[in-house]
Amino acid sequence: KTRDILLVSLLKDKKDTIWFLVNHFPSRKGGTEISEPKRIYVAQQARKMVDSLLKQNYQSKIILMGDFNDEPQDRCIRETLKCQYKKNEVSWNELYNPMMDLKEQGKGTIMYRKNYEQPTKEEGFVETYRRVAAKSCSVRDSTSRKAG
């Protein structure tokens, strides 16, 4: 059992629809081995929604946002959601994830004890790992790309 994914559409200039998928993926409680399959399952559901929107219009503008409880390089984000980290390498059916650029600049995407840092196992990593709400955002804007 997990949280629902909220799908919202915004009509821009009475002609252009932007889709938002608001997520709160399952926590890392219990460690990666136990928790990762739960996040992958929710990511698969989100990906199905993205694929459905792309099937209706391959140029759909889609934004995934929320608390993914994963890092940009993690399998759930990279493989299951089909995220790319270089905007110019995103194909028509993939998502662009700008969070890796921030991570590489040393800017945090996770908060632990009010600091953007990675806790150690000795500090209770598994039990107290907390994420910042709305810390990740995957943007798909394919206006210049063609299906195929």
Number of neighbours of residue 62 by Cβ within 10 angstroms: 21
DSSP string, 64-131: EEEE-SS-TTSHIIIIITTEESSGGG--TT-EE-THHHHHHTT--SB-BTTBSSPPPGGGTHHHH--B
For the chain, what's the residue count? 148
pLDDT at 109: 56
Which parts of the chain register pLDDT below 50? 119-148
pLDDT at 110: 63
> Cα dihedral angle (142, 146, 147, 148), rounded to 10 degrees?
-130
Q: Does the predicted model carry a pTM greater than 0.85?
A: no
Measured in whole angstroms, the distance separating CA 99 from the mean position of its chain's CA atoms is 9
Measured in whole angstroms, the distance separating CA 109 from the mean position of its chain's CA atoms is 12
pLDDT at 25: 93
pLDDT at 42: 95
pLDDT at 117: 53
pLDDT, the chain, mean: 77
- Give the residue among 113, 110, 111, 125 at the shortest CA–CA distance from 29: 125
pLDDT at 87: 85
pLDDT at 133: 30
pLDDT at 13: 87
